[in-house]
């Protein structure tokens, strides 16, 4: 089974519950590893799945969110057993 798109809804227990309860990480404290998808939170409460570019001065991919707009982030949970992430080319 494959997962496509930026985010998908997963249910269950264990890792998922730990992830939901995990703390948000302030961008003032630490930035995520470039090119690793994370859940980001913006000033207005907007959330999206994005990743930092190599040159962090360019911000997040997909574009539109500068580092100044993003306040917090958290790693995404592991996919359920038997699932694999499908990379999607954004042209």
Is residue 15 in some structural domain?
Answer: no
Question: Looking up tokens 């962090």, which residue turns up?
Answer: 56
54 pLDDT above the threshold of 60: yes
Is residue 84 in some structural domain?
Answer: yes
Pairing of strands 38-42, 47-52: antiparallel
Is residue 5 in some structural domain?
Answer: no
Domain residues for the domain of 70 are 27-91
Percent pLDDT > 70 in the chain is 65
Is residue 13 in some structural domain?
Answer: no
Is residue 6 in some structural domain?
Answer: no
Distance CA(64)–CA(50), nearest Å, equals 10
Instruction: Give me the pLDDT at residue 35, please.
Output: 87
Is residue 66 in some structural domain?
Answer: yes
Would you tell me how many other CB atoms lie within 10 Å of the CB of residue 64? 10
* pLDDT tens by residue, 65-85: 777 788 999 998 887 888 877
55 pLDDT above the threshold of 90: no
Instruction: Give me the pLDDT at residue 59, please.
Output: 80
Is residue 16 in some structural domain?
Answer: no
Instruction: Give me the pLDDT at residue 8, please.
Output: 42
Distance CA(67)–CA(57), nearest Å, equals 8
Give the chain's domain count.
Answer: 1
């Amino acid at each position: 089974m494959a997962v496509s798109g930026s985010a998908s809804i997963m249910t269950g227990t264990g890792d998922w519950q730990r992830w939901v309860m995990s703390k948000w990480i302030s961008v003032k404290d630490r930035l995520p590893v470039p090119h690793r998808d994370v859940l980001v939170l913006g000033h207005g409460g907007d959330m999206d799945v994005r990743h930092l570019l190599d040159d962090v001065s360019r911000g997040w991919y997909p574009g539109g969110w500068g580092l100044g707009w993003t306040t917090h982030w958290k790693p995404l949970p592991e996919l359920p057993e038997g699932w694999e992430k499908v990379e999607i080319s954004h042209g």
